[in-house]
Each structure stands twice: as structure tokens, then as C-alpha cells.
Amino acid sequence: MSLAGKVAIVTGSGRGLGLAYAQELARQGAAVVVNDVDAQVAEEAVASITAAGGKATAVVAPVGSTETAKQLVSTAVEAFGGLDILVTNAGVLRDKSLLKMTDEDFDLVINVHLRGTFTCVREAYAYFKENGVAGRIITIGSPTGQRGNFGQTNYAAAKAGIVGMVRTWALEMKRAGVTANAIIPVAATAMTKTVPFFQKAVEADERGEAMPDFFRKDLGFGTADDVAGLVAYLASDAAGAVTGQAIGVGGDRLQLWSHPEAVATEFQDGGWTYAELGERFEDLFGGRLQSVGEEFPELPAELQPEPAAK
């Protein structure tokens, strides 16, 4: 399962989850192209990999454009002689409820997450196909894209779209031997740090302590390193038969998400009229309507967040 001789690109890998992915890929033997919009952060990430004996170089550019995608692939080829693995992690948040969300809020998140994934995967796949590489595409989804979340119209749309693209790419890339999968991570990051529900877990992580079992086991919430192992596995030859999947990981938990499937089906001779639906919909589907959003168990008393200082 060694990744020795492999070359990987990890977008948005200057810090947080992306950095953990890049470091783990390097630890398993891959040379890594680090990407971030902050030059100092990118160089520090490269230094952390090379100091540990790995190989890395940086591309400082915002993800989204075709130009950045081309730059990432060409850097991998020029610096390390090829490309085998792409991890599309770059992302931003602009959380607001629908009526407060501006066009700019929506467009920025869609451009980085969704368009950035599209342009980078298109460029990497073109290289794979032209050079006969059985490459690995690993995208990053979110529970928000699977279940929805208040105040995240833009983010939910992007993350759901990424999983939809992965299912399509798995079909299109099969003949070339290229796999495409989405990871659904649940981990302590700058994005989750501000959520009071996770306060005690994040504080423990920042102190270098193990998170309470409630978070790791009941919620499947852990550290960035807990996610990185799955990234490296999906990048390996051992995962050659795994494609088109959405796989959740966090803390001590690993999940395989289902594809959307019909939960109930009914037929009516001649089709469904307005009157028929009004008369029968509740009886047919009322008790089968699907929930939205994530539902968390109640926090134990000792893990309740501290009250905000006045």
C-alpha cells in the first residue's frame, strides 16, 4: 500500500484538513504539490513535509479558474515527473441565511468549492487519460451537502454538487481505470471551532489531549489526522475497485453513505392529478417524509459549552 513514487496535488492544503491530507500522503511516500492562497502558509506547509523527510513544492493561487488547475498539474509534472493523485480540498465559507446571502456570497463559495473541483479534476483527468495513468480523484464533501444546514445555501449546493459530479465521473472514468470518490469529513477545524456544540472537543484537541469519547464515538467527530488515513487509502492501489462512493469519516467512525434511493413508490392509472394528490398524498407519503438537517444527541452535562462572557 506504499505511495512511493506517486505524485499528488492537494488543493487548499496550507493548513487544517488539507495540510493533514498532504502530510499523510507524503508520509506514505508520495511527492506532494501543496496549494494555498497565502504564500507564507504554503511554504510553511512545504517545510513541515520536507522536514519530515518528504517531498513537496507549493503553488500559491486561488482555486476555481482553469488557469490555476493547469498550473497545479504542470507543476506536479515539472517538479516530480507526473501526476497520480488529486485531492480537491480548497474551500471558503460565507454563511448567511437565504434573504441575507448576496450574489457575491453565493458565487464565491460555488466558484471555489464546486467550480474549483470541476476545473482541477478536468485537468487532472486529461493528464491521466493522455498518459495512461490509473489515477485517483478524491474530492471533499460535507454532511451539509448530504443533509442540509441552516445558513449554508451556497455551501450545501456546492458540496451536494461535488458528490453528484463524483457519481458521474465514476462512470466516465471507469474505462481509463481512474477512480473518483468523495470523503465526508467531520473534524475539528477553523470552521467547526466556532460551533458551541463542539467547544469541549476542540478545546481538548488544542491542548493536545484526546477528545472525550462522546465526540469521537457517538458523534464521529475527531481530528484532521483521523480523516487523513482515508485519503491516503483511497489514493492507493489497494482502493482500485472503490469508485463513485461517498465515505464519511471522523473520530472513531467510518461510514458509507447511500446513494439517493426512492423510499416509497405508488402508481395510479392515468397518472396523478391535482385532485388525486390532494386526496391521497397524506395517506401515501405522510408518514414517510424525510428529515432534513443533522440531528445530534444531547450533550452530557460535563460537555456543555461554557456560557459566553458578558
Provide the pLDDT confidence category of residue 305 given band limits of 50, 70 and 90.
confident
CB 98 within 8 A of CB 156: no
In this predicted structure, what is the pLDDT of residue 157? 98
- pLDDT tens sequence across 238-248: 999 999 999 99
pLDDT at 183: 98
294 located within any domain: no
The pLDDT tens digits for 42-73 are: 999 999 999 999 999 999 999 999 999 999 99
Which pLDDT score is estimated for 307?
73
Is 202 contained in some domain? no
Q: What is the pLDDT of residue 156?
A: 97
Is residue 101 domain-resident? yes
* Average of per-residue pLDDT values in the chain: 95
Domain that holds residue 107: 7-187+223-257
User: Quick one: average pLDDT of 175-195?
Assistant: 89
**Band (304; pLDDT cuts 50, 70, 90):** confident
| Residue 276 in domain | no
Residue 291 lies in a domain: no
| 29 has pLDDT over 90 | yes
What pLDDT was estimated at residue 308?
64
Q: What is the 3-state secondary structure (H, E, C) of the chain?
A: CCCCCCEEEECCCCCHHHHHHHHHHHHCCCEEEEEECCHHHHHHHHHHHHHCCCEEEEEECCECEHHHHHHHHHHHHHHHCCCCEEEECCCCCCCECHHHCCHHHHHHHHHHHHHHHHHHHHHHHHHHHHHCCCCEEEEECCHHHHHCCCCEHHHHHHHHHHHHHHHHHHHHHHHHCCEEEEEEECECCCCCCCCHHHHHHHHHHHCCCCCCHHHHHHCCCECHHHHHHHHHHHCCHHHCCCCCCEEEEECCEEEEECCCCCCCCCCCCCCCCHHHHHHHHHHHHHHHCCCCCCCCCCCCHHHCCCCCCC
Residue 305 within a domain: no
Assigned domain for 175 exists: yes
Active-site residues, by number, are 142, 155, 159
Which of these ranges, 38-42, 157-161, 194-198, has the smallest mean pLDDT? 194-198
Structural domain count of the chain: 1
Supply the CATH number for residue 160's domain: 3.40.50.720
Instruction: Return the pLDDT at 299.
Output: 87
Reported pTM: 0.94
Whole-number pLDDT of residue 185: 96
pLDDT tens-digit map of 221-279: 999 999 999 999 999 999 999 999 999 999 999 999 999 999 999 999 999 999 999 99
